[in-house]
């Protein structure tokens, strides 16, 4: 069977013997009666597990709306106008509303970036500020010892509304829900404490219950309550295909179930060889972004198997801390140990590679220099076909093969 595998701007052809193909994993077609702003408005009128915003917010209260920063795909410019309209209908003055961008550990925005995120009309309508990790209120500690440090603007508000999008997250299970507040509006020490548990075996994509990172995030909300969430699910073109609103647990879980209906793929067993691609440009512009395909592919490969990871990586590593950690490591295990004692953004992606390398080989198909790829514990190849042929020769003619053309957005799960 022949496949077109996304690779930069020029897809590559791959041929796999029919008898070896265990499956081809692609997202299901999205079937949704409401999309875009209509989906958001419908969710606001039909909240899950809570009253409506009109029943919640009161005139005179200080209301904070937490919105995603520029590193996230959430279309706040489509979400926020409907939220503000609901608040205004109930007599909440726009002068009492502040939009706080959840920076986490990311850099602050320029004015132009803030305008682009929420739209000119929203930016003119309400005050818009970045969260400040250096000006937080400590509101308590979780059972795992994470300080619930929340940026003052959010901590001192009367009402907190969290917005964002729901997608798979490789150690928090899913994005969305409580994640906007913790770690989105938290201090660096809180983020360090929470994210250092990313190496726990239950801190993985698509898992909520028993996931120590997600449970720590949600426990933090006991100290700094979220009154209402508005979360959306996006298709591969980043358009809204579903929205949920209401309780930060119940509505979030409903959104996760919808996401699973599109992107979760049941498999009978893990394969000997997994072919994984981000889908081509711009998603595979560097190794930092290509990691998203690897993280889903790791759930499909057996221990001791091989992942053929296709990503053009024209811009190399793509992030300086990630590059430094990868090149400084003397073994995958050293990266895992390093992230446990010193969580750093960028370093966490290096640790995610290491966790996969401890279980399986990675044959990297990229434009990166071969010596750089070898130094970071992977085998370099120029084409998907030559990488597959090498993997097939090593595993043997009976090797089972799973193909993931859009691995960044398909989550394989071994059927019970």
- CA pair distance 190, 369, nearest whole angstrom: 37
pLDDT at 32: 77
- Third-level CATH fold of 36-262: Rossmann fold (3.40.50)
**Per-residue model confidence as pLDDT tens digits over 55-71:** 898 999 999 999 998 87
CATH architecture of the region 2-27+268-414:
Alpha-Beta Complex (3.90)
Q: Catalytic residue at 348?
A: no
Residues 6+ apart with CB under 8 A from 28: 261, 262, 263
Question: How confident is the model at residue 408, as a pLDDT?
Answer: 87
Beta-bridged to residue 379, according to DSSP, are 363
> 219-230: per-residue pLDDT in tens?
999 999 999 999
How far apart CA 99 and CA 162 sit, in angstroms, is: 10
85-107: average pLDDT: 92
C-beta atoms surrounding 34 within 10 Å: 15
Rounded percentage of the chain residues whose pLDDT exceeds 90? 86
User: What are the CA-CA distances from residue 86 to residues 32, 54, 291 (Å)?
Assistant: 24, 6, 39
pLDDT digits (tens, 9 = 90+) for 380-402: 999 999 999 999 999 999 999 99
pLDDT for 71 equals: 76
Distance CA 359, CA 271 (A): 13
Highest mean pLDDT among 146-155, 195-204, 278-287: 146-155
What tokens does 320 get? 């300086």
* Segment 291-307 mean pLDDT: 96
- Selected catalytic residue, list 169, 195, 299, 348: 169
Q: Which residues contact 357 (CB under 8 A, 6 or more apart)?
A: 332, 377, 378
Torsion on CA atoms 199, 200, 206, 208, rounded to nearest 10: -140
Radius of gyration of the chain (CA): 22
| Domain edges within the chain | 2-27+268-414, 36-262
Q: Taking a C-beta distance cutoff of 8 angstroms, is the pair 72, 165 a contact? A: yes
Q: Output the pLDDT for position 293.
A: 94
Q: What angle do CA 318, 322, 326 make, to 5 degrees?
A: 115
- Residue 85's pLDDT band, with cuts at 50, 70 and 90, is very high
Give residue 104's pLDDT. Answer: 83
* Tens-place pLDDT, residues 183-218: 999 998 898 889 888 889 999 999 999 999 999 999
Averaged pLDDT of the chain: 94
SS3 track for 130-153: ECCCCCEEEEEECCCCCEEEEEHH
252 is catalytic: no
């Amino acid at each position: 069977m022949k496949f077109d595998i996304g690779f930069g701007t020029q897809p590559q052809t791959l041929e796999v013997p029919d008898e070896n193909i265990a499956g081809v994993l692609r997202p299901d077609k999205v079937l949704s009666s409401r999309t875009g702003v209509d989906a958001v408005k419908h969710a606001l009128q039909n909240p899950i597990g809570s009253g409506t915003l009109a029943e919640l917010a009161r005139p005179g209260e200080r209301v904070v709306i937490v919105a995603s920063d520029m590193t996230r795909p959430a279309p706040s410019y489509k979400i926020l106008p409907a939220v503000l309209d609901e608040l205004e209908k109930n007599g909440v003055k726009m002068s009492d509303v502040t939009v706080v961008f959840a920076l986490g550990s990311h850099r602050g925005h320029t004015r132009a970036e803030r305008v682009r995120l929420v739209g000119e009309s929203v930016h003119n309508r309400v005050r818009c500020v970045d969260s400040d990790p250096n000006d937080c209120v400590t509101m308590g500690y979780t059972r795992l010892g994470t300080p619930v440090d929340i940026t003052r603007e959010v901590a001192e508000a009367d009402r907190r509304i969290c917005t964002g999008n729901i997608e798979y997250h490789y150690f928090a299970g899913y994005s969305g829900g409580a994640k906007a507040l913790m770690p989105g509006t938290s201090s660096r020490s809180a983020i360090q404490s929470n994210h250092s548990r990313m190496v726990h075996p239950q801190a993985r994509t698509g898992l909520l219950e028993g996931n120590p990172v997600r449970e720590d995030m949600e426990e933090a909300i006991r100290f700094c309550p979220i009154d209402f969430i508005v979360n959306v699910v996006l298709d591969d073109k980043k358009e809204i295909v579903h929205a949920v609103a209401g309780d930060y647990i119940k509505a979030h879980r409903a959104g996760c179930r919808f996401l699973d209906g599109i992107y979760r793929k049941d498999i009978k067993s893990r394969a000997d060889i997994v072919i994984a691609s981000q889908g081509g440009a711009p998603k595979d512009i560097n190794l930092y972004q290509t990691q998203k395909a690897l993280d889903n592919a790791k759930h499909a490969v057996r221990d001791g198997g091989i992942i053929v990871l296709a990503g053009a990586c024209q811009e190399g590593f793509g992030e300086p801390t990630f590059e430094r950690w990868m090149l400084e490591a003397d073994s995958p295990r050293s990266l895992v140990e390093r992230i446990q004692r010193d969580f750093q953004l960028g370093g966490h992606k290096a640790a995610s590679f290491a966790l996969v390398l401890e279980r399986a080989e990675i044959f990297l198909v990229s434009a990166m220099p071969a010596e750089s790829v070898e130094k970071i514990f992977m085998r370099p190849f120029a084409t998907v076909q030559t990488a597959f042929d090498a993997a097939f020769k090593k595993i043997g003619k009976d090797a089972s093969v799973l193909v993931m053309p859009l691995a960044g957005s398909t989550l394989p799960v071994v059927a019970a």
